[in-house]
């Protein structure tokens, strides 16, 4: 999950047209049979991210609920609540849609969806409020693993099954306090972005990094992966500038400053797609059509730029919809008392001009919008 | 503040204004409670535990609101409170981590608020910079410090007495946060309405010049209300820390606006001279209740925002109509 | 000779390089009432503000009982038992009467909790002594200027001062309240309290004062005993010239046949205006007399569309008008010069010019833009015509002396040239020379066909200017007198009191 | 607004206040420019392209600031502008996507701002709810709508004329954003200082009662300033859209505070009656320059926040001192 901090809308845009309605249908179309994540997702990729306690990841492709299991869950008439860190982006939207679709098939009612707007204290309030509705399952992504821990612990002690996205609160134990953590392969996505960068620069040049200046597990992993990969694998590429952002609207200012200070910059990595759009605007303004931008998350605007062979050359994408399905499946495991792996990851997806339309379909379970299709022609 | 002001409403209008502003928030609050009690009575809204949750969730806003009522009553504004809570939560947590004990933690949290409040107060009264600019600048400085002090990392607090006393504990079934809110509200109310200091605070906001002519040390009053605001923000920071068992630089983010909204909704005039502590706390509770009810109702975030905005406007508009008659 | 209680020696003060006090000396004996006289902007208020620590003198010294003192703030003044009724009110509009009177001196118990009951009780007593009918819990902002002034007086009297400064305490008061105040002053005098009394009402001075000091243009002209100086001399000292025709009524001729230009029928509004009917004819000056609180101001507020009208009708030039806002009133050809210049008349932080041109701002245009040159000219014209004492037309209005501020309010509406001019206490705080000027201007306007409604609590002035006078009592017109029929102030006074 | 007010500063103080507030922002701005020119002269700060970048980055704040100067001059406040830019960027983008063409896009963007401005204005003048509450509620409503209208998805804009005209284009080497800023600033300045409407705006803020007595239609003035503020926020939303080639619900987030800060820094009084459009734009440029300089300097975000806060406070404090002499 590219659950960025502070007010950002990270990510994969354009899902709305997709996400809210049609993806749900996709799930309903296969209303019987076992529940798994999208079988089209390639499974041969090694998952590079490590879990919050250093666990090696189990691929989400291995998760499954059989038809009998689903029917058994249905009998329970369970209730679930989704407690988000932030609901204002397509990553969240797609994830919630995936969850809702899978829960629907399992006969589980989603009684509340909350948005903490990146405020840990709000999230604690949300957990308390949601507990008033007595849910059996809470699927959640902690804003901050430290300060929300006690609230989650309270929920766990009350017997609620907890499934986490991306990160687990500190001090809670897998298998005891919570079921499992399902993550996108953020580290892998960072590596993908580095590789595309290296490829486009011919293994040589000067690059800048726009990172998320906050103690946030997910975005830290990405930047770390990008920088480590560049340093270790591509010694001729030098990271000459680093600039932090706290909000997505800052992307343009930071990128402009970088280009002012380093007019000879060849590429910029931006930690997620929304600030990357700002970097794009900065590059356009500076007349730097030759710049290479890589980022993470397949948003509409960056997809359009990739499709039209523009400044954004490629990115690593997450698969939030399927991540949601994986989480729902794991919740099912817990309800059934089935052993669940502590750390599950959904593989990273490399997106470039060549595969942008297919990638879109994979991520959002529907065809890319017309504008992108036109651009790709 | 170089641009202090005096009331110039037509006498008739002011009289009316005074009226409805005194009661509207109570009416609106009761209306909101009744509405949710009816629509959400199957969904646990009216359970004791949910109502106590609302009290917990609004405690920090209410407590900062009490102090902000004084600031706004003098016709000034304090935008730095949100940042102060963040820094205070961290300094308290760091002090506890460093083994300075309960009192070390309390001293660090309150001291942070106090120090910033003093600086604000001095800049506003001695250097005479408008409070909006001073506290806006301070908001950035303090937030930056909070980020910098631990490099944005949160600091866990394992001191269970601290956590109990400041946020997490219950006495019987009464959350300690509710007790703190009540104590601060009562003290604030008494100071504003029953002491010379409170009277002089309102006089300073009502007409600074006239107050000065009457022997009110308006600079001292203004200084003190900013110190109070800083101190209460520091206290709120400790409550966040105790409630979350950690200090973190994002605590209280955006709280300045919620606090000011609670104060204005409560009936205190943004132009000074009129203030009510009880109104502020009711305003804070009302916002908290709306937040809680809409989540229980299961609305989308976007719907929640729309409905919340509508309720605030309509509640005031409706109250305005009712009281006009 | 005995040592004076207070003496100020060689006081000078400049604002922005302009000298407003030039080496002024002033002394005050124990138990005397000492009048401080001078035209608008002569420096009276400034001198007194130096004494109370609001301003600091550039030069000069202050002695109290022979000892040199330095007074740098209001607390220093309080420490020396000096207390002042300010011309610009020192009341907080959002607090109640009682809260204002006892501000910073609130009765409280041992742990500092205010005793509101005692505060209210004490206020009640004070107000009773002053014979004013105000509720101690009324919010000051809801009261009229007359009541503000009474509250100011009550506040000053409640402090145990040795030196009490009254800067135009009676400017908004009617005869009745003035008499009560004078009784009070006599009591204080007997207690040995010294009073510095500033007023532009000449007759008062001779009624109450022992000595007079006259300032002109920031310089002291004379200090004399009241017994040894005549009113003519005082005026001459103040104005620097003779003033011949003060306050003399002249019979004017106009027609009261035909349609009145303004007719008010059975007007009621709020609690104070109950049933008011009158007619105003073209070219007429109609005076309105009444006690404080009789509802005169409320009557004109209702006519001008500020307070809602509960009943009755208003006809302008024979046509019925529904006036719901000042804008409607102005469109109908009316103008109101309000009684409260600070709250209703002026934008204190704007310049003299901006204030003067505000009512006509949309008329002085060059294309879509404001014609600044024309605006300046208009402002300059009225500054000259009303003899407004200001450095230039760009001076902030709030920095002018009280009387000069009042003249700006007048200028605003004279510039607009309305058909019907309503003046509510137009000469509050205006000096004697300017008062006669204003009376002349009113007459001139009437002669040129305008119609004028004047409310004034100063009877000589009202008698001097009016062609006809209506008396308002408790929200009703109780009497209508032709000026010709009134042969003394007493007649009018009786009518006002309702005593016959 | 039920709590309008009038100035009650001591005459002496106000005169001084008037003085320094008129010049401080210019001095501070020049000081900031000089400082960065010296310290960052090797790092491209003084290059034309960087200076033009600052102009681009501040354009939206400046333009909204011009309209906000009017709002604050009447003693009111508009907290909804940030949300309006977001919604307007989306409606403009949706109109373009729907094939309504350039004028359709413009009409949608400006129309959104206009409509919200009108609603704000009506609620404030007809229902007489304090502007703080109206626009706070509206801020939530509009933000919620912006999230809801596309389910938080951004809408790309491929209309190159639109993108050129509103944000991305350069005429010669002059960014079109700079041209827009200049046009709006000049118009705003002329309206405020050279027309009857501007004078009446200041009069309304200076003393609403006295203005009313003088025949100023204060309600109409207030209504219009809110309409203007909404309209300019809509325009700023189009500029965001044109610059980013997309509409998005997060555009303009938190801009209300930046806009108000620019206005106050420029010397407009939060209590009304005193306002300067040029000061506002300089205030906006100054904040933009500080942001830019600190980024080029390579400071951490936390350091940037601290230094920025310090500069704002110190610049004002220093100007205050200098001008006192
Ligand atoms: N703070 C100030 N700044 C500039 N000029 C001032 C200030 N205060 C007073 N003045 C000027 O000083 C002069 C004297 O004013 P002052 O108020 O003492 O007059 P006054 O004798 O009380 O007149 P009035 O009878 O009209 O009240 C006036 O010209 C006034 O404009
Ligand atoms: N209850 C009230 N509501 C609104 N305004 C009031 C109220 N009471 C008094 N006023 C204000 O008081 C002022 C006039 O007060 P007052 O009662 O003294 O009447 P008056 O007949 O005009 O007498 P005078 O002019 O001698 O003061 C008006 O400006 C009016 O607005
Ligand atoms: Mg005077
Ligand atoms: Mg009156």
B291 contacts on A by Cβ (under 8 Å): 125
User: How do strand C273-280 and strand C262-269 relate by DSSP bridges?
Assistant: antiparallel
Q: What share of chain C is helix, strand, coil (3-state, %, to 5)?
A: 35, 25, 40
Is C398 within 8 Å of chain D by CB?
yes
In three-state secondary structure terms, D13 is helix
Q: Which residues contact ligand 2 via a Cβ below 6 A?
A: B 11-12, 15; C 142-146, 172, 174, 290, 292-298, 301, 339, 457
| pLDDT at A49 > cutoff 60 | yes
Residue B182: C-alpha distances to residues B56, B162, B237, D163 (Å): 12, 19, 17, 55
Q: What is the largest CA-CA distance in chain D?
A: 62
Q: What does the alpha-carbon distance between residue A191 and residue D40 come to, in Å, rounded to a whole number?
A: 34
Strands across the sheet containing C59-64: C18-28, C6-15, C59-64, C67-69
pLDDT value, residue C256: 78
Closest C-alpha to B292, from B31, B30, B50, B29: B50
C168 CA to chain B: closest CA distance, Å?
A: 17
pLDDT of residue D177: 96
Residue C215: beta bridge partners?
C38, C220
D123–B317 C-beta distance less than 8 A: yes
CA distance C97 to C373: 46
CA–CA distance, C389 with C407 (Å, rounded to integer): 9
Give the residue among B219, B252, B222 at the shortest CA–CA distance from B79: B252
Cβ separation C74–B214 shorter than 8 A: yes
Distance C36 CA to ligand 3 centre (A): 10
- Name the E strands within chain B: 5-7, 155-156, 170-171, 174-175, 246-247
The backbone region for C440, taken as left when phi is positive above 0, alpha when psi lies in -120 to 50, beta otherwise, is alpha
Which of the listed ranges A324-333, A366-375, C72-81 does the model predict with the highest average pLDDT? A324-333
Mean pLDDT of the residues in chain A: 87
* Mean pLDDT comparison of A104-108, D52-56, D112-116, highest-scoring range: D112-116
Query: What distance in Å separates the CA atoms of residue C252 and residue C469, rounded to the nearest whole number?
Result: 14
Whether C307 contacts chain B with CB within 8 A? yes
C301: nearest CA in chain D?
A: D213
Cβ pair B110, B234 in contact under 8 A: yes
Mean pLDDT confidence for D191-219: 93
B252 within 8 A of B237, measured Cβ to Cβ: yes
CA distance C152 to D79: 40
Does the beta carbon of B284 lie under 8 angstroms from any beta carbon of chain A? no
| Number of alpha carbons in the 13 Å side-chain half-sphere of residue D313 | 24
pLDDT at A13: 39
**What secondary structure, in 3-state letters, does D110-152 show?**
HHHHHHHHHHHHHHHHCCCCCHHHHHHHHHHHHHHHHHHHCCC
Number of inter-chain CB pairs under 8 A, A vs D:
114
Q: What is the pLDDT of residues A164-212, one digit of tens each?
A: 998 899 889 998 999 999 988 899 999 999 999 999 999 999 999 999 9
Convert the pLDDT of each residue in B72-88 to its tens digit: 999 999 999 999 999 99
Rounded CA-CA distance A246/D151 in Å is 23
Nearest CA to ligand 1 atom 17: C401
Chains that touch B (3 or more CB pairs under 8 A): A, C, D
pLDDT of residue A107: 94
pLDDT digits over D120-170, tens only?
999 999 988 999 999 999 999 999 999 999 888 889 999 999 999 998 899
Mutate to test the interface with B, among A147, A152, A211, A217 (most CBs of B within 10 A): A147
3-class secondary structure, B121: helix
ipTM of the complex: 0.88
**DSSP label of B126:** T
Q: Dump strand ranges (E) for B184-310.
A: 246-247
Mean pLDDT of A235-239: 96
Distance CA C461, CA B216 (A): 39
D173 contact partners, CB below 8 Å, separation of at least 6: D48, D52
List, for residues D267-302, the tens digit of each pLDDT value.
898 889 999 999 999 999 999 999 999 999 988 889
**Cβ of residue A56 closer than 8 Å to a chain B Cβ:** no
Buried b (16+ CB within 10 A) or exposed e, C429-461: bbbbbbbbbbbebbbebbeeebbbbbbbbbbbb
List the one residue out of A327, A281, A273 whose CA is nearest residue A300.
Answer: A273
pLDDT digits (tens, 9 = 90+) for D76-126: 999 999 999 999 999 999 999 999 999 999 999 999 999 999 999 999 999
Residues with CB in 5 Å of ion ligand 3? C 45, 87, 401-402
Is the Cβ pair A247, D254 closer than 8 Å? yes
Predicted confidence at residue A12, as pLDDT, reads 40
Rounded Cα distance between C133 and B152, Å, is 65
Element (H, E) at A79: strand A79-84
Question: pLDDT exceeding 90 applies to what percent of chain A?
Answer: 59
**Integer Cα distance of A255 and D18 in angstroms:** 40
Phi, psi angles (nearest 5°) of residue A181: -115, 130
> How many other C-beta atoms lie within 10 A of the C-beta of residue C488?
9
Per-residue model confidence (pLDDT) at position B13: 38
What pLDDT shows up at residue D312?
Answer: 86
C143 in Cβ contact with C100 (< 8 Å): no
Q: Are A184 and A346 in contact (CB under 8 A)?
A: yes
- Helix runs in C102-230, H state only: 116-129, 145-158, 175-190, 202-208
For ligand 1, atom 1, the nearest C-alpha belongs to D12
Phi and psi, residue C455, nearest 5°: -105, 130
Find all residues with CB under 8 Å of D282, minimum gap 6, and list them.
D25, D26, D29, D266
Within 8 A by CB and 6+ apart from B325, the residues are none
Q: How many CA atoms lie within 13 A of C63 on its CB side?
A: 14
Q: Residues A52-74: what's their mean pLDDT?
A: 88
The values of phi and psi at residue A245, to 5°, are -130, 155
Q: What is the pLDDT of residue A203?
A: 93
Residues D3, B123: C-beta atoms closer than 8 Å: no
CB B46 within 8 A of CB A132: no
Half-sphere exposure of D185 toward its Cβ, with a 13 Å CA cutoff?
A: 23
C-alpha B135/C-alpha C301 separation (Å) is: 42
What DSSP assignment string belongs to C358-375? GGGTTTSEETTEE-HHHH
Lowest mean pLDDT, pick from A82-86, C274-278, C379-383, D321-325: D321-325
- Atom nearest to C297 CA in ligand 2: 22
* pLDDT value of position D314: 86
Cα B251 from Cα B87, distance rounded (Å): 8
pLDDT of residue C248: 78
Atom of ligand 1 nearest to the CA of D10: 1
> pLDDT for D4-31, tens place per residue?
333 333 333 334 344 555 677 888 899 8
Distance (Å) of CA B204 to CA B274, C304, C367, D8: 10, 33, 45, 11
Q: What are phi and psi of C46, to 5 degrees?
A: -65, -45
**Whose CA is closest to D115, among D148, D80, D165?**
D80
Cα first-last separation, chain A: 30
How many beta carbons lie within 10 A of that of residue C178, not counting itself? 20
Strand partners, B119: none
Compute CA A60 distance to the chain's CA centroid, rounded to the nearest angstrom. Answer: 14
Backbone Cα Rg of chain C: 23
Q: What residues have CB less than 8 Å from D99, skipping those under 6 apart?
A: none
Instruction: Compute the radius of gyration of chain B from its Cα atoms.
Output: 20
Low-confidence ranges of chain C (pLDDT < 50): 500
Residues of chain B predicted below pLDDT 50: 1-18, 324-325
Ligand 2 centroid, distance to C145 Cα (angstroms)? 7
Q: Which residues have a Cβ under 8 Å from the Cβ of A174 and sit 6 or more positions away?
A: A53, A55, A168, A180, A181, A342, A343
Residues in D whose CB is inside 8 Å of some CB of C read 6-12, 14-15, 18, 190, 194-196, 199-200, 202-203, 206-207, 209-217, 273-274
B178: CB partners within 8 A, 6+ apart: B52, B55, B56, B59
Q: What is the pLDDT of residue A224?
A: 95
Which pLDDT score, from 0 to 100, does residue B22 have? 61
**Per-residue pLDDT at D17:** 42
pLDDT at position C219? 94
| Partners of chain A (3+ Cβ pairs below 8 A) | B, D
Q: Does D140 touch chain A (CB under 8 A)?
A: no
Q: Which residues of A touch B156 (CB under 8 A)?
A: 146-147, 149, 170
């Amino acid at each position: 999950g590219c659950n960025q901090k502070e007010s950002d809308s990270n990510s994969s845009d354009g899902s709305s047209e997709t996400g809210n309605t049609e993806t749900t249908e996709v799930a309903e179309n296969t209303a019987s049979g076992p529940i798994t994540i999208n079988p089209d997702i390639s499974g041969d990729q090694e998952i590079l991210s490590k879990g919050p306690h250093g666990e090696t990841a189990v691929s989400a492709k291995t998760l499954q609920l059989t038809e009998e299991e689903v029917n058994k869950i249905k009998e329970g008439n369970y209730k679930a609540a989704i407690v988000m860190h932030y609901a204002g982006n397509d990553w969240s939207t797609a994830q919630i849609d995936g969850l809702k679709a899978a829960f629907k098939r399992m006969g589980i009612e989603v009684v509340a969806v909350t948005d903490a707007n990146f405020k840990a204290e709000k999230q604690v309030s949300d957990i308390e409020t949601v507990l008033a509705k007595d849910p059996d399952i809470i699927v959640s992504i902690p804003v901050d693993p430290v300060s929300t821990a006690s609230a989650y612990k309270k929920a766990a002690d009350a017997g609620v099954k907890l499934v986490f996205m991306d990160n687990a609160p500190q001090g809670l134990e897998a298998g005891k306090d919570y079921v499992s953590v399902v993550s996108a392969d953020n580290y892998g996505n960072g590596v993908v972005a580095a590789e595309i960068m290296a490829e486009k620069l011919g293994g040589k040049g000067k690059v800048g990094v726009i990172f998320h200046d906050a103690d946030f597990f997910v975005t830290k992993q990405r930047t770390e992966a990008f920088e480590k990969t560049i340093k270790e694998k591509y010694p001729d590429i030098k990271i000459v500038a680093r600039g932090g952002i706290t909000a997505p609207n800052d992307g343009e200012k930071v990128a402009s400053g970088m280009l002012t200070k380093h007019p000879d910059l060849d590429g910029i990595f931006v930690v997620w797609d929304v600030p990357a759009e700002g970097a794009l605007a900065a590059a356009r303004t500076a007349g730097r059509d030759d710049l290479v931008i890589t980022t993470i998350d397949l948003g509409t605007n960056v997809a359009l730029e990739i499709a039209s062979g523009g400044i954004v050359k490629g990115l690593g994408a997450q698969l939030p919809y399927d991540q949601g399905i994986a989480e729902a499946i794991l919740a099912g495991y817990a309800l059934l008392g089935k052993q669940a792996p502590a750390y599950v990851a959904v593989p990273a997806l490399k997106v470039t001009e060549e595969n942008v339309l297919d990638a879109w379909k994979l991520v959002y379970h529907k065809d890319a919008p017309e504008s992108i299709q036109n651009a790709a022609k | 503040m170089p641009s202090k002001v005096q009331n110039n409403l037509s006498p008739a209008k002011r009289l009316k204004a005074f009226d409805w502003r005194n009661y509207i928030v109570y009416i609106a609050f009761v209306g909101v409670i009744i509405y949710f009690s009816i629509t959400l009575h199957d969904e646990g809204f009216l359970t004791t535990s949910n109502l106590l949750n609302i009290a917990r969730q609004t405690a920090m806003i209410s407590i900062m609101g009490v102090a902000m009522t004084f600031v706004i009553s003098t016709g000034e504004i304090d935008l730095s409170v949100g940042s102060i809570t963040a820094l205070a939560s961290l300094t308290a947590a760091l002090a506890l981590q460093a083994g300075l004990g309960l009192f070390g933690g309390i001293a660090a949290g309150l001291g942070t608020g106090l120090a910033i409040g003093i600086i604000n107060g001095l800049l506003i009264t001695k250097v005479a910079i408008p409070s909006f600019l001073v506290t806006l600048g301070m908001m950035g400085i303090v937030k930056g410090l909070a980020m910098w002090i631990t490099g944005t990392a949160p600091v866990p607090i394992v001191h269970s007495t601290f956590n109990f006393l400041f946020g997490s504990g219950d006495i019987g079934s009464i959350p300690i946060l509710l007790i703190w809110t009540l104590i601060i509200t009562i003290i604030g109310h008494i100071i504003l309405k029953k002491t010379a200091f409170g009277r002089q605070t309102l006089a300073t906001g009502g007409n600074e010049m006239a107050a000065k002519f009457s022997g009110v040390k308006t600079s001292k009053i203004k200084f003190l209300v900013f110190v109070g605001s800083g101190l209460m923000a520091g206290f709120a920071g400790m409550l966040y820390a105790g409630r979350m068992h950690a200090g973190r630089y994002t605590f209280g983010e955006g709280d300045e606006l919620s606090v000011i909204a609670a104060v204005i909704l409560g009936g205190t005039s943004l132009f000074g001279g009129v203030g009510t502590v009880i109104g502020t706390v009711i305003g804070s509770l009302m916002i908290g209740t709306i937040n809680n009810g809409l989540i229980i109702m299961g609305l989308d975030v976007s719907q929640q925002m729309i409905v919340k905005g509508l309720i605030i406007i309509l509640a005031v508009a409706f109250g305005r109509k009712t009281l006009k008659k | 000779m005995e040592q004076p209680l207070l003496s100020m020696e060689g006081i000078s003060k400049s604002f922005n390089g302009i000298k407003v006090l030039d080496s002024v000396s002033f002394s005050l004996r124990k138990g005397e009432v000492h009048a401080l006289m001078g035209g608008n902007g002569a420096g009276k208020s400034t001198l007194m503000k130096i004494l109370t620590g609001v301003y600091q003198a550039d030069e000069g010294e202050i002695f109290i009982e022979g000892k040199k003192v330095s007074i740098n703030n209001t607390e220093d003044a309080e420490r020396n038992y000096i207390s002042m009724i300010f011309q610009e009110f020192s009341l907080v509009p959002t607090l109640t009467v009682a809260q204002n009177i006892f501000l910073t001196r609130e009765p409280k118990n041992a742990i500092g909790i205010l005793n509101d009951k005692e505060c209210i009780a004490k206020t009640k007593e004070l107000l009773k002594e002053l014979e004013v009918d105000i509720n101690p819990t009324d919010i000051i902002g809801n009261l009229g200027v007359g009541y503000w002034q009474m509250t100011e007086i009550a506040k000053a009297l409640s402090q145990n001062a040795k030196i009490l400064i009254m800067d135009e305490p009676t400017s908004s008061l009617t005869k009745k309240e003035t008499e009560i105040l004078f009784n009070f002053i006599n009591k204080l005098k007997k207690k040995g309290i010294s009073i510095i009394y500033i007023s532009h009402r000449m007759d008062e001075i001779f009624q109450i004062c022992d000595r007079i000091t006259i300032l002109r243009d920031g310089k002291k002209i004379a200090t004399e005993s009241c017994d040894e100086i005549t009113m003519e001399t005082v005026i001459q000292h103040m104005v620097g010239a003779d003033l011949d025709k003060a306050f003399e009524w002249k019979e004017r001729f106009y027609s009261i046949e035909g349609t009145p230009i303004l007719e008010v029928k059975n007007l009621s509004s709020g609690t104070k205006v109950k049933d008011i009917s009158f007619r105003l004819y073209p070219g007429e000056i109609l005076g309105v007399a009444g006690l404080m609180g009789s509802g005169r101001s409320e009557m004109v507020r209702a006519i001008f569309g500020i307070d809602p009208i509960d009943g009755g009708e208003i006809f302008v030039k024979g046509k019925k008008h529904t006036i719901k806002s000042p804008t409607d009133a102005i469109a109908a050809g009316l103008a109101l010069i309000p009684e409260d210049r600070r709250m209703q008349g002026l934008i204190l932080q704007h310049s003299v010019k901006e204030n003067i041109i505000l009512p006509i701002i949309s008329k002085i245009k060059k294309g879509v833009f404001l014609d600044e040159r024309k605006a300046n000219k208009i402002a300059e014209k009225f500054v000259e015509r009303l003899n407004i004492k200001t450095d230039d037309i760009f001076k902030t209005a709030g920095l002018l002396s009280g009387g000069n501020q009042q003249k700006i309010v007048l200028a605003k509406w004279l510039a607009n040239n309305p058909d019907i001019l309503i003046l509510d206490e137009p000469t509050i705080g205006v000096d004697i020379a300017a008062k006669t000027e204003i009376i002349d201007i009113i007459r001139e306007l009437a002669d040129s066909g305008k119609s004028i409604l004047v409310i004034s609590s100063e009877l000589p002035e009202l008698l001097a200017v009016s062609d006809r006078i209506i008396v308002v009592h408790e929200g009703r017109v109780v009497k209508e007198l032709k000026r010709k029929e009134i042969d003394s102030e007493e007649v009018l006074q009786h009518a006002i009191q309702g005593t016959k």
